[in-house]
Chains A and B, each alone.
Chain A
Amino acid sequence: MNLLHNLESGDFAIISGINAANAEQSLCKRLMALGFRVGKQIEVMRKASFNGPLHVRIGSTDIILRESEAKLIQISH
Chain B
Amino acid sequence: MKRIALLGMPNTGKSTLFNRLSGASARVGNWPGITVDLMSAKLLIGGDIAELIDLPGIYDLHGFSDDEQVVRHFLSNNEVDLVYIVLNATQIDRQLSLALQIRSLGIPSMLLLNMQDEAKRAGITIDTPRMAEQINMPVLQLSAKYGNGCPELLQKAAEILHKNKEKTSVDDVAKRLEADNQIEAEMQSIVENAVQIPTTLNNDTSDKIDKVLLHPWLGLPIFILATLLLFQFIFTVGAPLQDAMAWLFDTVRSNILEPLLSTAPSWLHGLLLDGIYNGVSTVAAFVPIIVLFFLVMSMVEDSGYLSRAAFLMDAFMAKLGLDGRGFVMVLMGFGCNVPALMGTRVMRAKGMRLLTMLTIPFSLCSARLQIFVFIIAVLFKPSQAAWVMFSLYMMSLFTIFLTALLFKGQYKNNEPFILELPPYRFPTARQIWLRGWQEVRHFLVRASKFIIFGVVMVWLLTNFPSNVPAASAGTYAGQIGAFFSPFLDPIGIDTQLAIALIFGFVAKEIVIGSLAVIYGLQGDALMTQMAQNLDWVQGMSFMLFSLIYTPCLSTIATLKTESNSSAFMWVSIIWSIALAWLVSFMFYQGARLLGF
Contact = CB atoms under 8 A, between A and B. Distances in A.
Interface of A: 26-27, 29-35, 37, 45-46, 48-53, 55, 58-66, 68-69
B314 A26 contact: no
A30 B314 contact: no
A48 B98 contact: no
Contacts of B180: 29, 32
B350 interface: no
Interface stretch (B55-63, B277-285, B534-542): B55-63
A5 B93 CA distance: 25
B420 A37 contact: no
B197 interface: yes
Interface string B201-226: 10100100010001011010000000
Contacts, number: 117
A48 B419 CA distance: 14
B213 to A, nearest CB: 11
Contact of B93 (A31, A46, A49, A59): A59
A48 B418 contact: no
Contacts of A52: 311-312, 314-315
B414 to A, nearest CB: 8
A49 B315 contact: yes
Contacts of B216: 46, 48-49
B59 A33 contact: yes
Contact of A66 (B62, B307, B417): B417
Given A48-B314, A49-B216, A49-B217, A69 B94 contact: no
B41 interface: no
A27 B348 CA distance: 10
Contacts of A58: 94
A34 B210 contact: no
B310 interface: yes
25 contacts: A26-B62, A29-B60, A30-B416, A34-B94, A34-B418, A37-B94, A37-B184, A46-B210, A48-B214, A48-B216, A48-B314, A50-B315, A53-B311, A53-B417, A60-B91, A60-B197, A62-B421, A62-B422, A63-B421, A64-B307, A64-B311, A66-B318, A66-B417, A68-B416, A69-B416
Interface in B284-324: 307, 310-312, 314-316, 318, 323-324
Given A26-B348, A29-B62, A33-B60, A63 B93 contact: no
Interface residues on B, range: 35 or more
Interface of B: 9, 59-60, 62-64, 90-91, 93-95, 97-98, 122, 124, 180, 184, 197, 201, 203, 206, 210, 214, 216-217, 219, 307, 310-312, 314-316, 318, 323-324, 348, 414, 416-423
A46 B421 CA distance: 13
A66 B416 contact: yes
Contacts of B91: 35, 59-61
Given A33-B59, A60-B90, A45 B210 contact: yes
Contacts of A35: 91, 93-94
Contacts of A27: 416
A26 B420 contact: no
Contacts of A69: 416-418
A64 B416 contact: no
B122 A60 contact: yes
B92 to A, nearest CB: 9
Given A30-B418, A64-B324, 6 more contacts: A26-B64, A30-B63, A32-B60, A46-B210, A65-B416, A66-B416
Shortest 3 CB-CB contacts between residues of A and residues of B: A52-B315, A33-B59, A62-B421
Contacts of A30: 59-60, 63, 416, 418
Nearest to B89: A60
B119 to A, nearest CB: 9
Nearest to B419: A64
B138 to A, nearest CB: 23
Contacts of A51: 315
Nearest to A65: B418
Given A35-B94, A64-B419, A59 B197 contact: yes
Contacts of B122: 60
B140 to A, nearest CB: 20
Given A26-B348, A63-B420, A34 B59 contact: yes
B122 to A, nearest CB: 6
A64 B312 CA distance: 10
A9 to B, nearest CB: 9
B94 A61 contact: yes
Which of A35, A46, A50, A60 has the largest number of chain B CB atoms within 10 A?
A: A60
B334 to A, nearest CB: 22
Contact of B311 (A26, A48, A50, A68): A48
B554 to A, nearest CB: 31
A53 B374 CA distance: 41
B544 to A, nearest CB: 31
A72 to B, nearest CB: 9
B13 to A, nearest CB: 15
Contacts of B312: 48, 52
B94 A59 contact: yes
A59 B98 contact: no
A61 B420 contact: yes
B418 A63 contact: yes
Contacts of A65: 416-419
Given A59-B91, A65-B419, A69-B417, A50 B307 contact: no
A33 B98 contact: yes
Given A55-B311, A59-B91, A64-B311, A46 B214 contact: yes
